[in-house]
Structure formats: structure tokens, C-alpha cells
Structure 1
Amino acid sequence: MNFQMINNPVSYHCNGNNITMEAGKKTDLFNDMCSDSRYSNFPFYHTLFEGDFVIRCKIAPEFKETYDLGCIVIFENIDKWIKFAFENADSGHPSMVSVVTNGVSDDSNGEKIDESEIWMQVIRKGNNFALHYSRDKEKWVLVRIFKLDMNKEVKVGFSAQSPIGDGCKVRFEGIEIIDNNYKNIRKPD
């Protein structure tokens, strides 16, 4: 696959199916529902993918500040995208966080995660999407399932972000982007 970078990070290193990326200070992807503010200075290592897919990897952020994160991003344009993040949430602990944007962004904090690294995946089937995490890449826990009308071809990839901090370094391991063969995207085990 041909990967490209939008908004260069402070640093990044690719080694096969592994990436280490360091986002700069005050980097974010968010369309604020409470104002007209749109933030899109996030470093985004991505490729184009057409049709149904599964994108997954293990994500290990080095949290320093609230909202520091590593994430999978599905991006059509600045007004239509999905961000599935392992984030140092404002709840006071690292969590699974999902942001679905159709004009404006919603923001949903999920389950507390005690581990320093976690497997995450996004599954697409038509315009239906399922977000899961796993501690062992065997048993997947559903975080969110939803419908979002998107183009057949979208940008899929990875980002590190530090919306209010001075930067965040994230390791992405075991990256896979494959055709989706799951019939039931809610429970892909």
C-alpha cells in the first residue's frame, strides 16, 4: 500500500508494519459542536482504501497531558470522518474514545483502560462501522457501532495528537488493513 503523510509530525519512523509517530504541541482533529472551531492540524499517516475493510493495530501512547492520544482515522473530508482513539481522557484516566463527525463532532468516552497498550480496530461494511478493542487480539470488545454515509474510497490510517499538550509520542504495531470478510461486524470473533 502507498502511504502518505498529511501535516508532518515532529518525527516518525516506519519499520514494516510498525510506526512510531510524535505529534507536535496542540495538534488535533475536531469540529467543535459548541462553536465554529475546526481543528485539523493532526499528523495523519494514511492510504486510500476502497470498499469494505478492517484496519487494526496495537496502539501505545506515551501520555503526558489530558487528551493526548493515538488513534485510527477514517477520513473523507474535514466535515466527515471517524477518530477511534486510545486517549488520556478528561475523565482522569486512559480510555477508548470515539469521535464521529458529520459536519460537527460528537465525542464519546468509553471504558477505562489500565494497560499501556491496546489492540484497536475499525470495521467497515457499506456505510456501517464498528469500533472494537482487544487486550489480546483474540477477544474483541465493541465500543460503538453506527452508520455514516461515506464515499466508497476513503483515507484510512493513523495519527498521534496532543490537543492541549506539548506533544505525544505513539507506537503503532502490527498494522493491518485488509478486506472485510466479517458478516457480523458487531461481534467479529
Structure 2
Amino acid sequence: MRWLHEPVAYEVAGEDALSITAGPKTDPFCDPGGPDRFDNAPALVGRLDGDFTLSARVRLDLLSTYDAGVMLLYASPDHWAKFYLELSPQGRPTVVTVVNRGVSDDCNAFTVEGDDVRLRISRIGSAYAFHVAADSDFWQLIRYFALDGDPEAGFHAQSPTGEGCTVRFEDIRHSAERLADLRSGV
């Protein structure tokens, strides 16, 4: 694995936990309606070949608007996708996705209670899927999409409007098996 941008701090705990601290004003985002482009958030990524699933429980103290714990697919500065729990402008923990193909889209899925969810990235052939499990063991499909390039997968923390945040990725799981059913998440 490698760092795209160095964190303020990080810690590996055991075989299945990682924490990443992002500094202030950190974010990957290319505004589709304007010239603003940001690419300075700490991210740890690595190559996963073939079909796979990568999941983690994502926990963070949601202090500032857009503070987020992120599962990431990264092919290049212009081609990436992120799946995350962030603090919305309304002050609610929200599951969000962004797919960047030169510019970023931005899609809020739903709000959750609390400061943690389980997020999962899957590759199915040449496509990718984002699933979330919130308050249950059911993996709900949030997004199914293609992404140019050969993305690496990993984790990142962001604090676009704040003074930084620490994200804890726990119960990290990797499987080299193909999902049996995209819609049911198994």
C-alpha cells in the first residue's frame, strides 16, 4: 500500500484496524460548476486484482461540515470514486458517493443515526459497486458504476471546512470472491 498524500498521523491497530488523521482544509473534489479543484486529503491505497470486496466499519467524530471517513477507488487525479460517511451542512451524518471523471458528481444517499457505518467496495468484472450496512447486517446497494483506468482501493480522511479529523477504519475485511448477487449485496 502507498500514501497518495501523507496524513497528519496514522496508526495500524492489529490486523484489521487503521486510523488516519487529516489536516485542515483537506479534500479531493473537482467542482462541476466552477474552477475549484482540491486533491490534498491523506489516502492509503493499494492494488487489488480481479473481483474483490473491501469493507470496513467507519467511525469518526463529526465535528465540521464535510468531515468524512472514506473508502476510495483511485486510478488517477482525474479518475476516482469515494464512498463515505460525512457531516452534512444540516449537521446530520450522511452516506455520500462521488465519482470523478474529470469533474466530480456528488450524491447523498441517506442520513444515519450515530457516527459509524459499514461501507463496502466491490469489483465485479469491469464495474464497481458501493454497499452500506447501517443498523443491520444487510448490505444495501448505493451505487453501481464503471471507472476508467485500473483503480487502487483504500481509505482516506477529509476535513474540507474544518481543522482536521481522525477516522477509524475497523473490522477491515478483504475477499477475492465475486459478489453472488449485486442487488442483495451477497
TM-score (normalizing by structure 2): 0.93
Question: CA 1:56 to 1:7, structure 2 compared with 1: closer, same or farther past 3 Å?
Answer: same
Deviation for aligned residue 1:122: 1.1
Partners of 1:57 and 1:173 within 8 A in 2: yes
Letter in 2 for 1:92: G
Partners of 1:27 and 1:41 within 8 A in 2: yes
RMSD: 1.5
Q: Does 1:170 align with 2:162?
A: no
Question: CA 1:46 to 1:148, structure 2 compared with 1: closer, same or farther past 3 Å?
Answer: closer
Letter in 2 for 1:174: D
Select 1:12's aligned residue among 1, 10, 13.
10
Partners of 2:95 and 2:112 within 8 A in 1: yes
Q: Which residue of 2 aligns with 1:89?
A: 88
Deviation for aligned residue 1:112: 0.6
Range with greater deviation from structure 2 (131-140 or 115-124): 131-140
Partners of 2:3 and 2:42 within 8 A in 1: yes
Q: Tell me how far apart the structure 2 counterparts of residues 71 and 173 of structure 1 sit (CA, whole Å).
A: 12
Structure 1: tracts of 5 or more residues without a match: none
Q: Tell me how far apart the structure 2 counterparts of residues 141 and 147 of structure 1 sit (CA, whole Å).
A: 18
* DSSP-derived class of the 1:50 partner: coil
Percent of matched pairs sharing the same residue? 34
Q: Tell me how far apart the structure 2 counterparts of residues 184 and 148 of structure 1 sit (CA, whole Å).
A: 20
Partners of 1:123 and 1:129 within 8 A in 2: yes
Deviation for aligned residue 1:49: 1.6
* DSSP-derived class of the 1:42 partner: coil
Partners of 1:23 and 1:169 within 8 A in 2: yes
Range with greater deviation from structure 2 (65-74 or 179-188): 179-188
Q: Which residue of 1 aligns with 2:98?
A: 99
Deviation for aligned residue 1:102: 0.8
Deviation for aligned residue 1:137: 6.5
Question: CA 1:91 to 1:142, structure 2 compared with 1: closer, same or farther past 3 Å?
Answer: farther
Deviation for aligned residue 1:136: 5.7
Matches within 5 A, 1:94-173: 94-135=93-134, 138-151=137-150, 154-173=151-170
Aligned residues: 185
- Per-residue displacement from partner, 1:71-123 (whole Å, max 9, x unpaired)? 10000001111100101022431110000011110000111110221111011
Deviation for aligned residue 1:35: 1.8
- Per-residue displacement from partner, 1:31-74 (whole Å, max 9, x unpaired)? 11112322110101111122221110000011110000001000
Q: Tell me how far apart the structure 1 counterparts of residues 60 and 162 of structure 2 sit (CA, whole Å).
A: 13
Deviation for aligned residue 1:183: 3.1
Partners of 1:121 and 1:132 within 8 A in 2: yes
Structure 2: tracts of 5 or more residues without a match: none
